[in-house]
Chains A and B, each alone.
Chain A
């Protein structure tokens, strides 16, 4: 049973997340096995997708060490999977369910009725899509600019 680190508690408060929501994301991932594992075994990433928010929890054996969310809805790899075969680079994560390395790819990102692409990592086998914690600021700034322009 993981707990929530003090830093993440502060982060949750600042972002309006509930502790119970984060624990629920982790528990659901542990029950289903749908999660990413860092190749070095240090952390797992679990996610919960709703219509207008995708939330993530990063955790180790003991505690949740990070959580983040984006409003853009991540979809299919741009151009479909085959077209992307030539150059996708391996990420440092493995899809827990499939045991396959997840790849860096551009995926469709929908937001406020428009669609562009954004950087994500995708499992080679089940095509599950995750946004890495470091990439979330890129999406947040894009959401804020688009929110203003499309308001």
Chain B
């Protein structure tokens, strides 16, 4: 689907959505909380395209995302990313699979000895690699065709997520027990890679939002002490490095999964004036926005979540009720609030459920703090 196949974005909508989106970042008053359900391959369904088509054609993917943003009335930003970034740049093999994002079939690091020899690519080499070729194709399309929906991001995940694109997750978990120093070394290199990658994006577009946080390092897989050593500490060092390299100013802390036992730790992660903190679950339950804004409202934009399982498989009313209770609890958070989902908008979620989140924001998300 080339650019001419897409109807133009309504400029009135763009202006009002832009104003809603500015509020959490710049405290400029608007009517209500905006919804950001992390729209990615769900947008392919809106255009009746497959997931492989979406990820195989990054330029068309972002056009579909931008169109879906207008259709659903959500954050007007053309995102593009998937989980298995940065393996192919170092010699891993990335393969396409039906109905799923590209995934690594082989990874560059095979043994603990390989970690020592592993060389992090400097920006001048990384920028021409396969990951940025795809990523920049998507971002350039938004920049050129949807300039008002452009926000430059770099997809990283936390250090463990970068590292598991280089080494199998099984090896990393084994080394945490048998050779934890090797994991420390690996995560330092992942942090160096984060600085290098963010520098490429910032160099190209003048600013960057780093998508980082803690996905694997969650309470379902690691205890608090392990999360601190293998998640929080090296991620904090990496954020500081990225900011010091001038490759910010955006910091998006995606605390995916269960963070009941470690969420408070992240209060002291290095933050810029544009920091968004998203927390998925509190044990098995969705992380309550009241608890979230209590802990982070004095320092960061809180992205409150609706459970993606509910969005995917619940009823429209269940989604609407959860979105309502989250937005009522979070909307007046002092440093801003966005209503979203606990992770990427499920690819095959019923459109009515995605729309139910927006409906709740429209019905109950009016600010009273301004």
**Residues in B neighbouring A142, C-beta threshold 8 A:** 249, 272-274
- Find A86's partner among B245, B268, B270, B273 (CB 8 Å cutoff): B268
Min C-beta distance of A54 to chain B, whole Å: 15
Residues of B within 8 A of A84 (CB): 268
Structural contact, B268 and A87, CB atoms closer than 8 A: yes
CB of A137 closer than 8 Å to a CB of B: yes
* Distance from B66 Cβ to chain A, minimum over Cβ atoms (Å): 21
Contact of A83 with B267 in the complex, beta carbons under 8 Å: yes
Task: Let me know if A117 and B207 touch, CB within 8 A.
Answer: no
**Contact status of A118 and B268, CB under 8 A, knowing A142-B249, A149-B28, A150-B28:** no
Residue A72 interfacial (CB < 8 Å):
yes
With A79-B267, A116-B335 already in contact, the answer to whether A109 and B244 are too (CB < 8 A) is no
Tell me, yes or no, whether B299 is within 8 Å of chain A by CB.
Answer: yes
- A109 surroundings in chain B (CB, below 8 A): 273
A interface footprint on B18-36 (CB within 8 Å = 1, 0 otherwise): 0000100111100000000
Closest chain-A Cβ to B277's Cβ sits at a distance in Å of 11
Cα(A146)–Cα(B250), bound, Å: 13
Answer whether residue A78 sits at the interface, using C-beta atoms and an 8 A cutoff.
yes
CA of A139 to CA of B273, assembled, Å: 8
A60 to chain B, nearest CB (A): 21
Residue B44 at the A interface, CB < 8 A? no
Across the interface, B272 reaches (CB within 8 A) one of A86, A119, A149, namely A119
Q: Assuming A79-B299, A87-B265, is B273 touching A118 (CB within 8 A)?
A: yes
Q: Which residues in B have their C-beta under 8 angstroms from that of A17? A: none
CA distance A141 to B207 in the complex (A): 7
* Binary per-residue interface labels of chain A (63-98) against chain B in the complex, 1 for a CB within 8 Å, 0 otherwise: 000000000100000110001101111000000000
Closest to B25 in A: A149
Would you list which residues of chain B between 266 and 310 have a CB under 8 Å from chain A? 267-268, 270-275, 298-300
Known: A79-B298, A79-B299, A139-B273. A119 touches B268 (CB 8 A): no
> Is residue B166 contacting chain A, with contact meaning CB distance below 8 A?
no
Residue of A nearest to B334 (CB): A115
B228 proximity list for chain A (CB < 8 A):
87
In the complex, the number of residue pairs spanning A and B with C-beta atoms less than 8 Å apart equals 93
Asked if A119 and B270 sit within 8 Å, CB to CB, the answer is: yes
Contact B244 A132 (CB under 8 A): yes
Task: Type the 1/0 row for B336-357, where 1 means its CB is closer than 8 Å to any CB of A.
Answer: 0000000000000000000000
Complexed CA–CA distance, A84 and B102 (Å): 40
The complex places the Cα of A146 from the Cα of B249 at a distance, in Å, of: 12
Q: Is the CB of A117 within 8 A of B26?
A: no
Nearest CB on A from B122, distance (A) = 18
B residues in contact with A150, CB < 8 Å: 26-28
Cα A146 to Cα B336 with chains together (Å): 14
* Interface range on chain A (Cβ under 8 Å from partner): 20 to 34
Q: Which residues of A contact B299 (CB under 8 A)?
A: 78-79, 106, 116-117
By the criterion CB–CB under 8 Å, are A134 and B244 in contact?
yes
CB-contacts of A129-150 with B (<8 A): 132, 134-135, 137-139, 141-142, 145-146, 149-150
Q: Is the CB of A106 within 8 A of B207?
A: no
| A104 proximal to B (CB < 8 A) | yes
Please report which residues of chain B, range 243-272, place their CB below 8 angstroms from some CB of chain A when the two chains form the complex. 243-246, 248-249, 265, 267-268, 270-272
Set of chain A residues within 8 Å of B271, measured between Cβ atoms = 78, 106, 117-119
How close is A57's CB to chain B, nearest CB, in angstroms? 19
- A44, CB-defined interface residue at 8 Å: no
16 CB contacts below 8 A, A to B, read: A78-B298, A87-B228, A87-B265, A106-B268, A116-B299, A117-B299, A119-B240, A119-B270, A119-B271, A137-B246, A138-B243, A138-B246, A138-B272, A149-B25, A149-B26, A149-B28
A-B contact sample (19 more), CB < 8 A, given A87-B228, A149-B25: A78-B298, A84-B268, A87-B265, A89-B236, A89-B237, A109-B273, A113-B27, A116-B275, A117-B271, A117-B273, A118-B273, A135-B243, A135-B244, A137-B246, A137-B248, A138-B272, A139-B273, A145-B25, A145-B274
Nearest first, the 4 closest Cβ-Cβ pairs linking A and B are: A137-B246, A134-B244, A149-B26, A116-B273
Seen from chain A, the residues whose Cβ lies within 8 Å of a Cβ on chain B are 72, 78-79, 83-84, 86-89, 104-106, 109, 111, 113-119, 132, 134-135, 137-139, 141-142, 145-146, 149-150
